[in-house]
Amino acid sequence: MKNLLLLPFLLILFHACAQKADKPSYEKVNLKLNEQFGDYWYQGKAELTSYDLEQVRYGEKREGEAVLIFVTEDFSKSKQVKLDNLKEVGDDAEKVLKLNFTKKFNTGIYPYSIMTSIFSPVYPENDLHARKITTSVQEWCGHVFMQLNNKRKDYDLLVRSYFESEGDMEMKLDKVWMEDELWTLLRLDPNQIPEGEIQLFPSTQYLRLKHKELKAYAANVSINRNDDLNELKIEIPELERDLSIFYKNQHPYKIEKWEETYPENGDMMTTTATLKERIMLDYWNRNNVKDSTYREELKLGF
């Protein structure tokens, strides 16, 4: 009799869980996601934002462009790759917010192409850190690649490079905050960003371009809160490097511009990126010739 009385309740519970299978409950997470989080990030589109870029390289400023591509997707906890078939993975699936961060600019006759991918958990149970970070840099001399995998207690770091001094490296890193993951964390919940003096693994793009030691550095992180744009400021004294990311102070915390300052050929120089255009688009379905009009909409030239 008791089992019969419980049956309607169990059916309701099963129905509710089935409805939320692809969109886990907010109640069980550590991040405080905005109530409109799903309305913005689960509409089957990516946020594409283009920026005018002035990139410091070899002691001069180079005109170029940057693009930030933010999108949610399903991720394999065990393999740490995007899942192809959700029906076969069960508990191995995890929702992430992915950022593909691209830069293109020219130095004299030859071009640079840089890309960083960051995969941050949307519903972490006990670890806010990005699950995976990769960066590649391509130019006519050769290319380099770096990958960091979150292994719960530490990170696996893999480096491939055409430079003899760097060559092929694989090593373990202690679990610290990654500068790259702060770009995605501020889109999820800026209040989770650690403020004050912390140990920080710097931007993988910066480390590759400047060939700095692959380690955590003492850093000061702060958020200057304003009526419109907040400023996430990162200072790394040992590298004489500062980064400021300016973002809207309301959900979905859109990134409007950034500035990065460090020594270049003995002088302090600043890389800047300023907003051009932003659209929401299922870009993975827009690969026909006619879809090139979206590049015009984003004002992309490179």
Q: What is the pLDDT of residues 76-85, one digit of tens each?
A: 998 999 988 7
The rounded mean pLDDT for the chain is: 90
Sign of CA dihedral 11, 13, 15, 17: negative
Dihedrals phi, psi of 131, to nearest 5 degrees = -75, -30
As beta bridge partners, residue 93 has 76
Gap between the Cα atoms of 94 and 187, Å rounded: 18
Q: What is the pLDDT of residue 50?
A: 98
Gap between the Cα atoms of 183 and 98, Å rounded: 10
Q: What is the pLDDT of residue 7?
A: 39
Strands 196-201 and 177-178 come out as parallel
By C-alpha distance, which of 63, 73, 99 is closest to 181? 99
pLDDT range class, residue 91, cuts 50, 70, 90: confident
Q: What is the pLDDT of residue 30?
A: 66
Is residue 25 pLDDT above 60, yes or no?
no
Q: Report DSSP letters for 213-238, one per residue.
A: -SS-EEEEEEEE--SSEEEEEEEEGG
Gap between the Cα atoms of 160 and 136, Å rounded: 9
- Measuring CA to CA, how many Å separate 46 from each of 30, 40, 49, 130, 133? 24, 9, 10, 19, 19
pLDDT range class, residue 19, cuts 50, 70, 90: very low
Of 157-166, 200-209, 240-249, the poorest mean pLDDT is in 157-166
As beta bridge partners, residue 268 has 263
Gap between the Cα atoms of 179 and 199, Å rounded: 10
Radius of gyration of the chain (CA): 21
pLDDT range class, residue 237, cuts 50, 70, 90: very high
By C-alpha distance, which of 271, 211, 214, 243 is closest to 59? 271
Q: Which pair of tokens denotes residue 211? A: 């060939």
Arithmetic mean of pLDDT, 29-51 = 93
The residue among 51 and 86 whose pLDDT is bigger is 51
By C-alpha distance, which of 135, 161, 136, 131 is closest to 149? 131
- CB atoms under 10 Å from CB of 295, counted, come to 13
pLDDT in tens, 201-231: 999 999 999 999 999 999 999 999 999 999 9
Q: What is the pLDDT of residue 17?
A: 36
Is residue 86 pLDDT above 90, yes or no?
no
Is residue 270 pLDDT above 50, yes or no?
yes
One-letter identity of residue 133: I
Domain ranges of the chain: 23-297
Arithmetic mean of pLDDT, 6-29 = 37
Q: What is the pLDDT of residue 152?
A: 84
CB-based contact 135:145 (threshold 8 Å): yes
Q: What is the pLDDT of residue 1?
A: 42
Strands 46-57 and 267-281 come out as antiparallel
DSSP 82: B
pLDDT range class, residue 26, cuts 50, 70, 90: very low
Is residue 65 pLDDT above 50, yes or no?
yes
pLDDT in tens, 96-141: 999 999 999 999 999 999 999 999 999 998 899 999 999 999 999 9
Ramachandran quadrant class, 152 (left: phi over 0; alpha: psi -120 to 50; beta: rest): left
Which stretches of the chain are DSSP H helices? 2-19, 37-41, 179-188, 204-210, 293-297
